[in-house]
Amino acid sequence: MGKGFFKVPKAVNEPVKSYAKGTPEREAVLKAYKELWNNSVDVPLYIGADQIRTGKTKNMIAPHDHQHVVGTYHLAEKQHVEKAIATALEARKKWAALPWQERASIF
């Protein structure tokens, strides 16, 4: 096991924003909301570094407007689940082989 001295960075909170009418933060949120509302998103399966589009999809519906489709997601089948398990087990081996300092550095 490696020895070392590590300096933990001091936590800094984001500024508190009011999101009151007329504020820049509220305008930014409304702009992003309208952009997302007016554009459909296609969500593939993510297995390891691969993005997989199966062609079998289901709609994602806005929770406050059940008539509005915000996008689609791809459905996994047995072979996708098996690939995901194999990929996770392989990643586990690589992760376990890393020194603890490298594993801890992600935080």
How does DSSP assign 13-36, residue by residue? PPPP----TT-HHHHHHHHHHHHH
* DSSP state string for 37-56: HHS-EEE-EEETTEEE--S-
pLDDT band at 93 (very low <50, low <70, confident <90, very high): very high
- What value does the mean pLDDT take over residues 14-39? 97
Each domain of the chain, given as residue ranges in start order, spans: 42-104
Model pLDDT for residues 40-59, shown as the tens digit of each residue: 999 999 999 999 999 999 99
Nearest C-alpha neighbor of 69 from the set 44, 37, 34, 29: 37
Dump pLDDT digits (tens) for 5-26. Answer: 677 788 899 999 999 999 999 9
Phi/psi of residue 10, nearest 5 degrees: -70, 135
